[in-house]
Amino acid sequence: LKDGERSFLVVYTKASGENLWTELGKTEVCSLDTTWPVWGTIMELEFRVEVIRHMRCEAYKMSSSNSLEELWHHKFIGACEFLLTEAVTSRAKVHNSSDGWLRKKLVNIHRKRGEKHPGRVCVFADEKHSSKLELYFKLTATQLQT
C-alpha cells in the first residue's frame, strides 16, 4: 500500500454447488505502513478431501471512522478466489521456492488503465493437530496497492 495502514481482508467460503458465499471471518486491521501486510488472525474450518470448498479473499483499506461491518464504506482493493485444496497442496511444493504459501493475484475490475496491479494474497493452510478434519490458515499480502 502507498499508505499501508488500515488494510484488512474478508474471507468467504462456499462448498461446490452452493450459490451463496458465507463469511468465514475478517482479519484485524493492519497498523503497519507497508505494502507487505501480515495479519495475525488465524481462521479455522472443516476440511474434507471429498468436498470441493471454494475460498474468496477481498482486500480493503479501512476508511477513517467506519465499522468493519459496513464494507461499502471502505475502499475495495481487490479480490481473489481459490480452492481450499490448492492452499493445502501448496505446502507440499516447498521444493520449488513457494515455501508452502499459496499466492493469488488480487483482481479489481474497476481498476483504471495504467494503475498498478493491486497485489497478491498469500495463504498458508495447515491441519489442526488435535483434529485431522480441521484446517487453520494464515493470511498475508504482497505488493498491495491502493
Residue 26 pLDDT? 93
Tell me, what's the pLDDT at 136? 67
CA dist 21 and 102 (Å) reads: 21
Return the amino acid letter for 65: S
Q: Are 74 and 62 in contact (CB under 8 A)?
A: yes
What is the pLDDT at residue 97?
Answer: 54
SS3 101: coil
Q: Is 52 in a helix, a strand, or coil?
A: coil
pTM: 0.82
Low-confidence residues of the chain: pLDDT under 50: 1-3
Joined together, the cell numbers standing for residue 59 give 482486500
Instruction: Round the CA-based radius of gyration of the chain to a whole number and report it.
Output: 15
CA dihedral 81, 101, 42, 107 (to 10 degrees): -30
Condensed to tens digits (0 to 9), the pLDDT of residues 54-80 reads 999 999 998 876 677 788 888 899 999
